[in-house]
Amino acid sequence: MRKNIVAGNWKMNTTVAEGVALAKEVNEALAGFKANCDVIVCAPFTHLASIASVIDQNKLGLGAENCADHKSGAYTGEVSAAMVASTGATYVILGHSERRQYYGETAETLREKVALALANGLTPIFCIGEVLEERENGTYNDVVKGQIVDGLFNLSAEDFGKIILAYEPVWAIGTGKTATADQAEDMHAHIRAVIAEKYGKEVADNTSILYGGSCKPSNAAELFAKPDVDGGLIGGASLKCADFMGIVKAF
């Protein structure tokens, strides 16, 4: 059956020293405690190797926030999936709305990134979600379906089975405005139906679908209680160990 997962997305926050300290703190908080979910932190590229050397990855998974859409070569400033894997990280967030919006990521580039992540043994945390206008004009189910179909449905069932999905309504990210638990559940059930239509019920039932967007200790339990919400991708609240652990403990 699918896993429950709480993953932090630190975005462009913390220096290496601060990030290592935060990862250590989370690692220590998890040490004497049996979490009812997998716990992951996704950190800037610069931090990954240092964090990998101080955490116990049996307790705390480590991921990058992006990777390149090319294997290697003359792409100044890019970081490949192989480089990410070489740090010891085993996850990578792909297709975050901030990357789609500010860095022009398209379904085509994301298909390349997903393929390279998988080829290098990384587990993609693939983000989807509608903007406010699409929520308000009622096209959100189609928009999210389109992102899944265009970004992922080229995969074999076996490879699709390696993907973690994160539904993040863009209007809820960093705004303090969370989707209601019912809105999240409706969308997560829709996403699972879209997957079942293509890959069958078993693959759909085994796919972890995380919710992201102003998830915090005070609302996590209500969201995670929904049958199709398998955890959270946490931005702001992942930057403080106590808040992040508060969300982990919501399971």
CB of 233 to ligand PGA, least distance (A): 5
- The catalytic residue among 65, 105, 130, 168 is 168
Q: In terms of CB distance, is 7 or 51 closer to ligand PGA?
A: 7
CB of 217 to ligand PGA, least distance (A): 12
Cα distance from N-terminal residue to C-terminal residue, the chain: 16
231: Cα separation from own chain's centroid: 10
- The catalytic residue among 96, 130, 134, 185 is 96
Q: In terms of CB distance, is 19 or 199 closer to ligand PGA?
A: 19
CB of 177 to ligand PGA, least distance (A): 9
Are the beta carbons of 28 and 244 closer than 8 angstroms?
no
Q: Directed axis angle between helix 217-224 and helix 181-199, to 10°?
A: 40
Q: Which residues contact 117 (CB under 8 A, 6 or more apart)?
A: 67, 81, 84, 92, 94, 123, 124
Annotation marks residue 96 as catalytic:
yes
Q: In terms of CB distance, is 117 or 239 closer to ligand PGA?
A: 239
Q: In terms of CB distance, is 160 or 167 closer to ligand PGA?
A: 167
Q: In terms of CB distance, is 61 or 236 closer to ligand PGA?
A: 236
Q: Which residues contact 142 (CB under 8 A, 6 or more apart)?
A: none
**Positions that interact with ligand PGA (CB under 6 A):** 9, 168, 173-174, 212-215, 233-237
Q: In terms of CB distance, is 188 or 199 closer to ligand PGA?
A: 188
CB of 76 to ligand PGA, least distance (A): 27
CB of 164 to ligand PGA, least distance (A): 13
**Three-state DSSP class for residue 46:** helix
CB of 174 to ligand PGA, least distance (A): 4
Q: Which residues pair with 100 in a beta bridge?
A: none
CB-based closest residue to ligand PGA: 235
| Structural tokens at position 35 | 């979490």
For residues 120-156, b (16+ Cβ closer than 10 Å) or e, as one string?
Answer: bebbbbbbbbbeeebbeeeebbebbbebbeebbeebe
The span from the CA of 234 to the CA of 229, in Å, is 14
Are the beta carbons of 107 and 151 closer than 8 angstroms?
yes
Q: Directed axis angle between helix 181-199 and helix 140-152, to 10°?
A: 40
Catalytic center residues: 96, 168
